[in-house]
Structure 1
Amino acid sequence: MLYYAKQWGGFVALGFLLLATPWAALAEDGKNSPQTDKETHYQLDTVTVTVEKREQNSQDVPASLSVLSETAIEDAGLTSVEEAVSYMPNIHFIDFGAAFEQRIFMRGLGSTHNAPAVNFNIDGVTQFRSESLDMALYDIESIEVLRGPQGTLYGRNSLGGVINITTRKPDNELRGQIRTDFGNYNLQQYQGTVSGPVIKDSLYLGLAGSYKVRDGFTKNDFLDNDVDNMESVDGRVHLRLAPADSNFEANLKLYAEGDRHGTSALQLLDDVKDNPHTANFDHVSDTHRQVLGSSLSLEWKLDDGVFTSISAFQKLNLWSDSDFDFSTADMNTFTNDSESYQYSQELRYSAGTDKDIFRWTTGVYAWGSQQEDISSTTDGKDMPPMFGFPGNANHNKADLEGYGFAPFGQATVTVFDKLDLTAGIRWEWEKRDGDFHDYTERADTGTTVENLKGSDSIISQQWLPKFSAAYHFTDNLMAYASLAWGYRSGGFNFMYDPNNPESVSFDPETSINYEVGVKSTWLDNRLYANLSAYYIEIEDMQVSVGIPGKMTMLVDNAGEAHSRGAELEVGVRPFTGMDINASYGYTEMEYDKYTDPVKNVDYSGKTPPYVPNHTYSLSAQYRYPLTDTLTLFTRGEVIGVGKQYWGSDNAVSEDPYQLLNARIGVESEDFDVYLYGKNLTDQEYRKIGYLTGMGAVYAQSGDPLTFGVNLVYRF
């Protein structure tokens, strides 16, 4: 019963796919050809974004910015955040195989066990934990990704950048959509949305829901079952009050997500290379995640500005039960049970538009959080006596509370009609309290051994300024330079070394980002090209290190590190119906001063793990009218990831790889049908590597070739 009801081959294959496109259409006058609603005009669309908490043309934002519109998301057939960011330079998503084991790195800054380095924001609400990343992408208006620290407007834990997702608002138009996907590995996915007026010109309602189930990509030969199977369900309600004759708007949003996954399919690295998508566990593993959230945004449009209030609540429950020795031996099982609550409130006032000489934003942000976490490791019957005893159980308990507030402001002034000067400042203050208890229940003696028990408290404060200058040579050419500070909170380790009480906590991480860039549009707005370069200085970088003699990791601080690189994005519409997009990111990151506290080894000059030196993508799509009512859609893409290391010692790495995806279909006004394939060459690669405190290297295979059919009905 279901729990919930080779390197260049990709470019060659993409070339063949594009050659199969009906190029004879070039001989026709595109303006006179019949088009569907999805066909766009000859020029590229103007993209309006809100990443700086006011509406702007994306080409006027003095920062490295990538945007996916609702149409772009649908054209690519995107279903997850991981798929969406794979098109963007210097962004790398790592996936341990379960919904709450996903992490994101931007310009080399990320996390595996600590607070995120990238702010994940949905409709103006910051998601406090990385476990919220596994969001189903449907009923989405846009995805905006801003690289580089955004501490002034977004605060702590945004030193890598910001992912800003905006869902679609209901309005006077009664509309709906049903989408289904069927694919190999018994994939079934159903999504539905409906929205419209409850009271015309005043009150609107939007409803959305999805369900997805799929067999695992990895087979457990020992138990003859799938390791990483998955099932998920979610629902959203959006109630919008926006009277036509009023300057007031209110948006109430409720959402719930639940999923059940198999656990990570980690195996020893050599075994994964020899037998990809194969595992051997003696224990059936399971993970569960439940997310509940609500937000209320109030907006008043006044004569000279806009006042906004955003109140939010989030609840997150996580539970997992896994084979912790990743073998057929009954040595270790691991369970984790976590419950957390987050509250936030932002009050903000913005004045001025890009047409005004002076525009500014000011506000205050406050938050609170609570978390209870208990992890248990139990010895099995095959545990060697020198390491434990069958039935012994070690427990780590942590009860955490935190709260903080941050006033902020940012202003831009235009001088000489072409030069925009921006300055901003934010002051972050936070306090965290933690109670910790580590103890072992001894089956061999019938006693309980207290390993560590105590409390700790952390108070942090940080100024986060930002300065930028942008010069508009013409309406289509802008160059900018910026200087910004980033900050990631310190905190407590849920899994700590009981022999080292200082390992319970770790310090904040700070950064300074220097950036220059050029943004441009050409050929009568048919081509855009954006280039940026950056250098980041990092102090007290938070890193993961192994706990001696254990499979688990804790967070420690490296002394100093730096990251430098560049990003390039190009998009062109050579003729009506044809779109080509390309991106490239280069990152070079090193520790400047870091000695591993466990191994006492100097890693200065080494590259941190999970930081590929290259990321790139190339996509091309074409819509060709078949009849007055039918359109042929074709799309091909290549996504590439460069070399990356699995540990700070740089002893083990993953070679570069690239994935080829394609999509072809027929579209009409009300109904679309597509065939799609991902990783068409069935490229073998490892999407994650993991070094334990016992010195072993584990890895998990990347997703294999998948294919299916996608049906869309609109009403």
Structure 2
Amino acid sequence: MTNHRRTRTGKLLSCAAAAAMLMAAPALAADTAILEEVIVTAQKRSQNMQEVPVSVAAVTADQLANFAAGGADIRFLAARVPSLNAESSFGRTFPRFYIRGLGNTDFDLNASQPVSLVFDEVVLENPIMKGFPVFDVEQIEVLRGPQGTLFGRNTPAGIISVSSVKPTFETNGYGKVSYGRWNAIEAEGAVGGALIDNVLAARISLSHQRRDGYVDNDYTGEKDAMEGYEDTAGRVQFLYTPTERFTANLNGHFRSMNGTARVFRANIIKKGSNDLVPGFSPYHAYTDGQNTQDVNSRGANLNAQYEFEGVTLTSITAYEYVDAFSRGDVDGGVAGKGPGFVPFSVESASKINGIDQFTQELRLASSNDGPLKWQTGLYYFDEKADFANLSYGAASSDVLKRTTVANSVQDNDTWAVFGQMSYALTEELTLTGGLRYTEDDKTLVRREVAYGSGNPVAGSVSRAKTSDERVSWDLAADYAFTDDVRGFVRVASGFRAPTIQPRSVNITTANSEKVMSYEAGVKSDLLGKRARVNLTGFYYEVKDQQFTAVGGVSNNNTLLNADKGIGKGFEADIELLPVENLMLTVGTSYNHTEIKDATLYVPACSGGCTVLDPIRTVGTSRQASINGNPFPQAPRWIFNTTARYGIPVGENDEVYAFTDWSYKSTANFFLYESAEFHSQARWIGGLRAGYAYDGGRFDLSAFVRNITDERGLEGGIDFNNLTGFIIEPRTYGVTARMKF
């Protein structure tokens, strides 16, 4: 009953806030401030966001500075954009994104996702790469719905595009230092400018984040043993413009992160509900396992453009590398000692020996201002992933003894040819269509090795291969009702390539996931460009939807294809300048998702949890029917709002406050439904208040994140007991910033 009330409250607040903002519009003050034009690259060319026939949202650099205060990782995007969710069972790495409810909960090291992360026009395929720190970033764009024509496979839900600040020939930069709770330190800065006037420029950007642990291990007696980290990243860019026609940007970057892995906590969920048990404290855990995590990555890309007469040739060549190790106590406690019932000790680790990714894109695009705009190109992707799953002593007297190592090597090759054309039939009506042909091939070899032997266990070498070719397409119409009000309709297809899962000797595979999406929307700048209201309604169907049956009694991941899945709903993005010096935003989304496969059963939880689906027993396995269930990690309602108010002091100074709030309704953690394994509906808020001096050149502020100190589950482990991991407690601190 409580969750239903919270969900209903979220709906009412969402609608009421939007209505109140618009009803207040006639009383707007008469000052000259207007909303700035937002430029996006959703169609791989710079365009006004209001003129793009795609549901797209942009998160600005100023908003990012507030959302990421205190060293937050990229998961801060969760619910900050309508229809976008994010979570991770790894902590500061391996984020999993969901757009319009479509995503993938698989935590295996070669897992694919239907949401792609594009960083400086380079696709970062493996989830471990998607956790690269967000710093010195100009903007983040979220494209909702299939983007297969221009961005390729594995984008049927959408993409998240991150654009770093590029070098210019003017000297500029910034520096920032923050200090916060648990001795959190964040030092970040960038400097750039001309090396050779009008020919060569550079920009160097650095970020360092560290924090002490704040979780005591009550079993060993160690204080502040877990949830600490040290994360350093950097980027160097060179801009080369020897002629007016040729431009090249060389980007090199790295990351080195070490700390503790996610803390799993046994029996923290109250049976029969998703409440935390009475007396639960986020500052204490009881574990006999090791808890370590390291990630090291590096990469480089060259983006070169040559301007012919009316045509631009673009080449993007990129290489990315990452290795990582993460070890955690997945039983969440100590066998025979608790907390609660922990039947046996088991630890596991995920190790990436190395992932090498190479991509090459060649694109030819029109650059004139005529009614016809077109682009065509070739794309190549090659990835080699060498990784291992390690198990430790479930039955051994030495619970830290390594028992098996499952080494896997996966090779993935993809190539594609694509094209898109837009034509303005009239001054008001523009049609856009695109087509892409893709071939995708994967091979995987898995060798299970008994620790210390160095040789595969007899019969444990497994192999798998997948191959597919697909055509993705989209068709859109954009109509300008007035100079400030536009409408669009869009039909688009996309697919997620076949997947291989090497969790056990019996390798599982899944066929391609195919998505067909239909959407219509209105984009409007109102009230003399003091209000911006963008609305989109959508419906999509997924054929052969890829799912991962995670956990169950066997603690095994199994790939499967559901016959069909559907999603439908709407999104609203609203910005408003109601009075002088006040900026408001409101976003909301409704996503209804449903699995449609009457024959599909998955392993259900043990440990005394309460399964709500029909159950059948096969041998010793309890299996739940998931027909009619929502997609996992797909909250039905998302709501977010921000407000910034500044009070001028003198001619160039300002006292300001910024607050942001987000709401997510409840969401399942797994494919089956249970009383325990789903998140609670909750609000998360933040606040920053400060003084900006000399036109914002100097800034001193205080911040707080999770201002109400909300506590609840972010995810769970269902094979052993009522084990979960939680959202972070309240953080706070101060920040000093200078720009030049």
TM-score by length of 1: 0.89
Point out the more displaced range, 392-401 or 104-113.
392-401
Q: Secondary structure at the match of 1:211?
A: strand
- Aligned partner of 1:335 in structure 2 is 349
- Aligned partner of 2:470 in structure 1 is 462
In the comparison of the two structures, how many residue pairs are matched?
A: 676
Match of 1:515 among 519, 538, 544: 519
Structure 2: how far apart are the matches of 1:574 and 1:608?
A: 38
Q: 1:645 to 1:84 in 2, by over 3 A?
A: closer
- Aligned partner of 1:437 in structure 2 is 447
Shift of 1:92: 0.6
Letter in 2 for 1:401: D
Match of 1:658 among 661, 666, 683: 683
- Aligned partner of 2:307 in structure 1 is 301
Q: Structure 2 regions of 5+ residues with no counterpart?
A: 15-26, 271-275, 336-343, 604-621
Kindly indicate whether residue 52 of structure 2 is the aligned counterpart of residue 61 of structure 1.
Answer: yes
After superposition, the C-alpha distances for 1:236-266 in whole angstroms (9 at most, x for unaligned) are 10011024x5211000000000111211112
- Aligned partner of 1:634 in structure 2 is 657
Kindly indicate whether residue 626 of structure 2 is the aligned counterpart of residue 603 of structure 1.
Answer: yes
Percent identical among aligned pairs is 22
- Aligned partner of 1:146 in structure 2 is 143
- Aligned partner of 1:124 in structure 2 is 121
Match of 1:675 among 702, 706, 712: 702
Q: Secondary structure at the match of 1:204?
A: strand
Kindly indicate whether residue 730 of structure 2 is the aligned counterpart of residue 705 of structure 1.
Answer: yes
Q: Secondary structure at the match of 2:182?
A: coil
Match of 2:170 among 167, 170, 173: 173
Q: Secondary structure at the match of 2:269?
A: helix
Match of 1:87 among 80, 94, 110: 80
- Aligned partner of 2:547 in structure 1 is 543
Kindly indicate whether residue 730 of structure 2 is the aligned counterpart of residue 688 of structure 1.
Answer: no
Letter in 2 for 1:700: F
Structure 1: how far apart are the matches of 2:381 and 2:648?
A: 52
Point out the more displaced range, 620-629 or 541-550.
541-550
Letter in 1 for 2:386: E
Q: Secondary structure at the match of 1:427?
A: strand
Matches within 5 A, 1:368-379: 368-379=382-393
Kindly indicate whether residue 325 of structure 2 is the aligned counterpart of residue 319 of structure 1.
Answer: yes
Shift of 1:429: 0.2
Kindly indicate whether residue 141 of structure 2 is the aligned counterpart of residue 133 of structure 1.
Answer: no
Q: 1:562 to 1:29 in 2, by over 3 A?
A: closer
Whether the 8 Å contact between 1:10 and 1:658 is mirrored in structure 2 is: no
Whether the 8 Å contact between 1:403 and 1:432 is mirrored in structure 2 is: yes
Whether the 8 Å contact between 1:646 and 1:690 is mirrored in structure 2 is: no
Structure 2: how far apart are the matches of 1:327 and 1:486?
A: 43
Shift of 1:85: 4.7
- Aligned partner of 2:614 in structure 1 is none
Shift of 1:45: 0.2
Q: Secondary structure at the match of 2:710?
A: coil
Q: 1:103 to 1:91 in 2, by over 3 A?
A: same
Q: 1:335 to 1:84 in 2, by over 3 A?
A: closer
Structure 1: how far apart are the matches of 2:427 and 2:539?
A: 29
Kindly indicate whether residue 286 of structure 2 is the aligned counterpart of residue 287 of structure 1.
Answer: no
Matches within 5 A, 1:258-277: 258-267=256-265, 268-270=267-269, 272-274=276-278, 275-277=280-282
Letter in 1 for 2:330: F
Shift of 1:13: 14
Whether the 8 Å contact between 1:441 and 1:449 is mirrored in structure 2 is: no
After superposition, the C-alpha distances for 1:642-689 in whole angstroms (9 at most, x for unaligned) are 111122221132221001211100001331001111111111221223
- Aligned partner of 2:426 in structure 1 is 416
- Aligned partner of 2:592 in structure 1 is 588
Letter in 2 for 1:671: F
Q: Secondary structure at the match of 1:567?
A: strand
Structure 2: how far apart are the matches of 1:571 and 1:168?
A: 24
Kindly indicate whether residue 253 of structure 2 is the aligned counterpart of residue 248 of structure 1.
Answer: no
Q: 1:441 to 1:562 in 2, by over 3 A?
A: same
Letter in 2 for 1:71: D
- Aligned partner of 2:61 in structure 1 is 70
Structure 2: how far apart are the matches of 1:565 and 1:28?
A: 31
Structure 1: how far apart are the matches of 2:296 and 2:727?
A: 25
Letter in 2 for 1:108: G
Structure 2: how far apart are the matches of 1:426 and 1:606?
A: 33
Shift of 1:30: 8.2
Shift of 1:28: 13
Shift of 1:638: 1.4
Structure 2: how far apart are the matches of 1:165 and 1:605?
A: 35
Whether the 8 Å contact between 1:399 and 1:436 is mirrored in structure 2 is: yes
After superposition, the C-alpha distances for 1:128-178 in whole angstroms (9 at most, x for unaligned) are 112223232221111111100100000011111111111111112112211
Kindly indicate whether residue 614 of structure 2 is the aligned counterpart of residue 574 of structure 1.
Answer: no
Shift of 1:326: 1.7
Letter in 1 for 2:648: P
Letter in 1 for 2:446: F
Q: Secondary structure at the match of 2:150?
A: helix
Q: 1:85 to 1:392 in 2, by over 3 A?
A: closer
Q: 1:30 to 1:273 in 2, by over 3 A?
A: farther
Structure 1: how far apart are the matches of 2:455 and 2:363?
A: 56
Structure 2: how far apart are the matches of 1:373 and 1:448?
A: 15
Match of 2:371 among 357, 365, 368: 357
- Aligned partner of 2:273 in structure 1 is none
Shift of 1:361: 1.1
Whether the 8 Å contact between 1:647 and 1:690 is mirrored in structure 2 is: no
Letter in 1 for 2:38: V
Structure 2: how far apart are the matches of 1:442 and 1:306?
A: 57
Point out the more displaced range, 317-326 or 254-263.
317-326
TM-score by length of 2: 0.86
Point out the more displaced range, 332-341 or 433-442.
433-442
Structure 1: how far apart are the matches of 2:289 and 2:146?
A: 42
- Aligned partner of 1:112 in structure 2 is 105
Structure 1: how far apart are the matches of 2:187 and 2:601?
A: 48
Whether the 8 Å contact between 2:524 and 2:533 is mirrored in structure 1 is: yes
Structure 2: how far apart are the matches of 1:425 and 1:13?
A: 41
- Aligned partner of 1:534 in structure 2 is 538
Q: Secondary structure at the match of 1:465?
A: strand
Kindly indicate whether residue 91 of structure 2 is the aligned counterpart of residue 98 of structure 1.
Answer: yes
Letter in 2 for 1:319: F
Point out the more displaced range, 49-58 or 430-439.
430-439
Q: 1:601 to 1:95 in 2, by over 3 A?
A: closer
- Aligned partner of 2:609 in structure 1 is none
- Aligned partner of 1:38 in structure 2 is none
Q: 1:28 to 1:632 in 2, by over 3 A?
A: farther
Shift of 1:368: 0.5
Q: Secondary structure at the match of 1:559?
A: strand
Letter in 2 for 1:333: E
Structure 2: how far apart are the matches of 1:70 and 1:555?
A: 38
Q: Secondary structure at the match of 1:270?
A: coil
Q: 1:465 to 1:227 in 2, by over 3 A?
A: same
Letter in 2 for 1:462: R
Q: 1:464 to 1:442 in 2, by over 3 A?
A: same
Whether the 8 Å contact between 1:646 and 1:691 is mirrored in structure 2 is: no
Q: Secondary structure at the match of 1:185?
A: helix
Q: Secondary structure at the match of 2:63?
A: helix
Q: 1:460 to 1:269 in 2, by over 3 A?
A: farther
Q: Structure 1 regions of 5+ residues with no counterpart?
A: 1-5, 15-26, 32-40
- Aligned partner of 1:191 in structure 2 is 188
